[in-house]
Amino acid sequence: MRQRYYIEDIGEYVNCEVTLEGWLTGKRSSGKILFLQFRDGTGFIQCVASKTDVGDEAFASADGLTVESSLIVTGVVKEDRRAPGGYELSVTGFKAVQVAEEYPIGRKEHGDAFLLDHRHLWIRSSRQFAILRIRATVISAARDYFDSRGYTMLDTPILTPAACEGTTTLFATDYFGESAYLTQSGQLYNEATAMAFGKVYCFGPALRAEKSKTRRHLTEFWQIEPEIAYADLGDIMDVQEELLSEIVARVLKDRARELGMLKRDTAVLARVQAPFPRVTYTEMVDLLSKNGVEFEWGNDFGADHETVMSRTFDRPFMVTHFPKSVKPFYMEIDPDDERLTLSVDMLAPEGYGEIVGGGQRVTDLATLERSIDEGALPRADYEWYVDLRRFGSVPHAGFGLGIERVVAWICGIHHLRETIPFPRMLNRLRP
Amino acid sequence: MRQRYYIEDIGEYVNCEVTLEGWLTGKRSSGKILFLQFRDGTGFIQCVASKTDVGDEAFASADGLTVESSLIVTGVVKEDRRAPGGYELSVTGFKAVQVAEEYPIGRKEHGDAFLLDHRHLWIRSSRQFAILRIRATVISAARDYFDSRGYTMLDTPILTPAACEGTTTLFATDYFGESAYLTQSGQLYNEATAMAFGKVYCFGPALRAEKSKTRRHLTEFWQIEPEIAYADLGDIMDVQEELLSEIVARVLKDRARELGMLKRDTAVLARVQAPFPRVTYTEMVDLLSKNGVEFEWGNDFGADHETVMSRTFDRPFMVTHFPKSVKPFYMEIDPDDERLTLSVDMLAPEGYGEIVGGGQRVTDLATLERSIDEGALPRADYEWYVDLRRFGSVPHAGFGLGIERVVAWICGIHHLRETIPFPRMLNRLRP
């Protein structure tokens, strides 16, 4: 493929003439000098054109370009400390590709519905650009973490015959005459692949028909889920801690410019280093009570509780040993207290709440069969899963890290809908 | 996390004592010496135990273990050229974790249905192990290719309001009262993200209700789909060629052992180097006719034609300029012949057929609107997509590489169902 230049790498071409292919995001003119705000998908740069350098005709044609017109600009790269990215382009020539119609997204404030309706264009704006570039880095860092440590990536199915995380949020489809459900998590299948490949992970979409309209829920979100054979609760807590530290370090290193665009306080992120605080569910209930929050032992924490809890610590922290009543059937029972499970949630600080959920899985055949029956789950649908306890059962543990929740926290943004290219929520299926 | 040893890295520990955690795959005994075939998910190794070394009791207990029992073995790593992996473990101690029930998959031949019903266990066998490890490497190599070249990974939605690849193979679900369809391809959304991020890719599942029961179709498969702004047909042909060469080189380098387990002829794979042959659709029709295959210009190639074609070349090859009649509405028209499109399919040799499909997309607003109307597609569903031609339209191109088809060809195996952990096909939704 032909040699191309991108704004991201522009620092390598100071005082060289380069051609950039992109779009106009704005312009102003002083009559003889034209300042073009320009983006090419890898960054933003100001292009400065003087009538003397480019000639009257080219100058006039560029002056007539509308916002989001596509444009090829040639010019010399100049270092300029005052410029946002540190560089400017001194233009020697233009070529307009397409003159855009009047662009619907302007400088004025738009409502949420309007922006979401125009998500295919909204993603071009600098804030969305920064968030989604950080998302890509979070995903890449998470995968690299596992790939470099001998985990085998094994995709789990999207279409499944049964529920993994309860039946109230299932999307169903007709599968050649029988009912199939869209996956809510790859975990049960991960347990099968962990018994075959030792250390595994899956990375894929999870679909849950969440009827609640909160800033923390999407109906379609992405999870990375490792599962390890011959591992216990303590082992996966170590993995969680190390994984999150590595993700954050990578974003700090590779996406400093994007964090700056979001005005994110990076001091908070720099503190994300092991060891993370580890507290039990029961200690957490006491802490809520000390903070004047009424909470009955045995209930699940809600978003409000999580918010209170996650303002208590200056870095991510882990809550362990939740009661059986609030965790799924596959969680291993605590051998020291049978009311509890060997489970762990990780919460982000600054009020962000849960970003990781996991634990050790039931090893014993009879215990698992009892759990399935107690949950009134259809035994036939889980026979294959029960088989994993008949043929070489071993202690094993794993977790799921929600990509959008991690991205929202790292970016310091309020609503999950900005952390995914095309968010899906209650009443939001378009574009 | 505690230090652990894996068979994959065993060569680093010659003459050291290590502990391996895994499963027994078979055993034979000479009365005083026990040969245990052992796997830990990263590989297979023979463990040799003498009654003298481990003691009568431990020897007897190990001798009583059934196939697929979980077992922790300690021993000294010995180099042994005769051993399949080059190493053997001279056992000093055992610990049985769980004694397996009678394992349903044995040495005798099983029917396809039986193996697919037991897919959660079948993946433990050495052939499935090799295929799925190669799959993980193919995916990792493909992602690394794009990540290292400045592409931004942006996930496209699973739940969509409209069809991308025709309406006959759509899976539908109720989405809070309206109809949603499961994605068949991320391409239309990739075009939106390419206009925002320049070079993008998505990697995710595609779902198609294929009613045909062939060895080349799954209802659920994974695709990696790049899309590049300011790129044409020639550009993405270069990318296809380079990407596939890099994937194959990586598998040859990192998965030589697994290719050996599959008895794959690697000479064929070593030939996968640019340039790949490039022929037009029309030339291909002539070639079919010369091979005595009847084929009418303007029709689409079927699996049988692809098989004939893909025996013609000794490496992957690209077929370009398909007629409009066989390509979707978004394909750019050939400026030199308006009956043709700027499209390209890549086919694998050895009879494997199509592994990549792509092309340049329509740039012009009026042309796209006409194509949508000619295809009788609901205009309202595509308004956002048409917007990409209103606001800074640029030439752009991309493609989709089908992971399972690439894996099947690299592994040299017949049926796609073995290339994915849990295959979904007509009448196959379990486990």
Q: Which residues contact B120 (CB under 8 A, 6 or more apart)?
A: A189, A192, A384, A385, A387, A388, B431
User: Mean pLDDT throughout B312-330?
Assistant: 95
Q: A197 and B429: CB-CB below 8 Å?
A: no
Q: Does A217 touch chain B (CB under 8 A)?
A: no
CA–CA separation, A232 vs A146, rounded Å?
18
Considering CB atoms only, which of A21, A136, A426 is closest to B176? Answer: A426
How far apart, in Å, are the Cα atoms of B182 and each of A220, B205, B279? Answer: 12, 10, 34
| pLDDT for res B166 | 67
pLDDT in tens, A318-368: 999 999 999 999 999 999 999 999 999 999 999 999 999 999 999 999 999
Q: Specify which residues A37 forms β-bridges with.
A: A26, A46
Closest CA relative to residue A303, chosen from A237, A222, A217: A217
pLDDT in tens, B51-63: 999 999 889 888 8
- The residue of A422, A425, A427 whose CB has the most chain B CBs within 10 angstroms, and thus the best one to mutate to test that interface, is A422
Q: Does A380 touch chain B (CB under 8 A)?
A: no
Query: Is residue A164's pLDDT more than 70?
Result: no
pLDDT in tens, A38-68: 999 999 999 999 999 999 988 988 888 999 9
Note which residues in 262-321 of chain A have CB less than 8 A from chain B: none
| pLDDT for res A12 | 97
DSSP A234-261: HHHHHHHHHHHHHHHHHHHHH-HHHHHH
Q: Does A2 touch chain B (CB under 8 A)?
A: yes
Q: Does A219 touch chain B (CB under 8 A)?
A: yes
Chain centre to alpha carbon of residue A33: 42
Q: Which residues of A332-354 are buried (b: 16+ CB within 10 A; e: fewer)?
A: bbbeeeeebbbbbbbbbbeebbb
User: For residue A11, what is the DSSP state?
Assistant: G
The two tokens of residue A7 are 């704004």
Q: Does B154 touch chain A (CB under 8 A)?
A: yes
Considering CB atoms only, which of A132, A175, A420 is closest to B429? Answer: A175
For A81, other C-beta atoms within 10 Å of its C-beta total 6
User: For residue B122, what is the DSSP state?
Assistant: H
What ipTM goes with this model? Answer: 0.97
CA-nearest residue of chain B to A126? Answer: B196
- Partners of A197 on chain B (C-beta within 8 Å) are 41-42, 123, 129, 132-133
pLDDT band at A165 (very low <50, low <70, confident <90, very high): low
CA–CA separation, A307 vs A312, rounded Å?
9
CA-nearest residue of chain A to B127? Answer: A196
Q: B220 and A41: CB-CB below 8 Å?
A: no
Q: B422 and A171: CB-CB below 8 Å?
A: no
pLDDT band at A162 (very low <50, low <70, confident <90, very high): confident
